Structure 1
Amino acid sequence: METVNITTSYDPDFVKQVEEESGQTLNLCYQCGNCTAGCPYTFAYDIPVSQIMRLLQAGQKETVLKSKSIWLCATCESCTTRCPNNIDVAHIMDVLRHIARREGYASVRTVKTFWDSFLESVEKHGRVFEMGLLATYVARTGRFWTDAELGPKVLPKGKLHFKPHDIQGKEEVAKIFKRFKEESGR
């Protein structure tokens, strides 16, 4: 990670925005490192979770929103359960993804594309339609042959269907997306 000058690029509005959207108090984090120690994806992050929290406290908007770590977080909540101050770190990471999407930051294009395709599938079908998600993702990224060798292994197991299944409550899921779009002004 590059050196960040926290005295010249402090953004108090960003700190306030993250606290308001997450409902968490960033100052409660005292850098114990439990979140990073418990994170199963630390090996893949460019900035470990505890450093993301410190950068948030320091108001480093651009550094945080450009990091690939926020996109790779699986929201498994290991960080949240290990936090001695009961900070919902996983929710903060989720909020950071939402802010990054709204403001046009996307450090890992393929991860953001997958995330967007996933959400569109849930919005349209009420649940994930895996084959549709795969088709959308491949079409948007052009990664036609990535993991192609898995197809012959997965298809005979009957886990991937060529048509989406109807589910109960599909309309309620659509209402959640509609409410989110109205509240976020999109």
Structure 2
Amino acid sequence: MQPINLTQNGNGFEQLANQTDQNLQHCYQCGKCTAGCPVAFTMDVAPNQIVRMLQLGLLNETFQTETIWLCASCSTCSTRCPKGFDLAKLMDNLRQLACEQGINPGGRGKKVSLFNRLFLDALKKYGRAYEMGLMVRYNVNLMNPFKDALVGLTLFSRGKLKIGPHRIKGTKEMIRIMENIKRLEGDKV
């Protein structure tokens, strides 16, 4: 894999700047994004440090963090930023760029990426989340098929979990929407 150059004239820097429509140099490291982030405690690198790494041209090192994969895209960071920097959008674009470069997430990021993919697959197939199937597929992919079996049995016995999927009436429309998103994003979904 060829490292991406994130200097001023580098392809990665320009690509990030174009996709996020913002200047990375506007962040002056106040830390409000990290202070307000509801999942910062789970991250290996603080959100503001991700921006600093990018300012220093360390894109490939940024791809190796779990932080970009653990970001919940809740936009708390973006709303708190005194400079109006959209860090949530940057994190989304970092994930996309990593996927385009063939970089697979490691650690807990791998689980988040897997869950996201399985969730989107369920949406395409049923038009809504199918909880039982989602968790079974997730646990099977992690080689731990019975991990949540007791919880699932309890939920099922209380009528809170259905064994079979329920399709919505607009499943075809959901599939059309997903295909349009895939087309617009260039097959990244």
State the TM-score, normalizing by the size of structure 1: 0.84
Q: Distance in 1 between matches of 2:166 and 2:27?
A: 44
Aligned to 2:164: 163
TM-superposed CA distance for 1:168, in Å, is: 4.4
Alignment CA distance shift 1:159-1:26 (3 Å)? farther
Q: Distance in 2 between matches of 1:142 and 1:29?
A: 42
Count residues with an aligned counterpart.
178
Aligned to 2:132: 131
TM-superposed CA distance for 1:134, in Å, is: 1.3
Q: Distance in 1 between matches of 2:100 and 2:53?
A: 20
The farther-off stretch of 70-79 and 9-18 is 9-18
**Letter paired with 2:74:** C
TM-superposed CA distance for 1:181, in Å, is: 2.8
Aligned to 2:180: 179
Pair 1:23-2:21 in alignment: yes
**Letter paired with 2:19:** E
Output aligned runs, 1:82-101, within 5 Å. Answer: 82-101=80-99
Query: Could you tell me whether the CA contact under 8 Å between 2:136 and 2:145 is conserved in 1?
Result: no
- The one of 22, 36, 52 equivalent to 1:54 is 52
Gaps of 5+ in 2: none
TM-superposed CA distance for 1:31, in Å, is: 0.8
Query: Could you tell me whether the CA contact under 8 Å between 1:31 and 1:50 is conserved in 2?
Result: yes
Aligned to 1:77: 75
Alignment RMSD: 2.0
Q: Which ranges of 4 or more aligned residues in structure 1 deviate by more than 4 Å?
A: none
TM-superposed CA distance for 1:47, in Å, is: 0.7
1:35-66: CA deviations, max 9, x gaps? Answer: 00011111111111001111122232211112
Give the share of equivalent positions with the same residue, in percent: 38
SS at match of 2:52: helix
Aligned to 2:37: 39
Query: Could you tell me whether the CA contact under 8 Å between 1:113 and 1:141 is conserved in 2?
Result: no
Q: Distance in 2 between matches of 1:91 and 1:170?
A: 28
Q: Distance in 2 between matches of 1:146 and 1:54?
A: 39
Alignment CA distance shift 1:22-1:176 (3 Å)? farther
SS at match of 2:134: helix
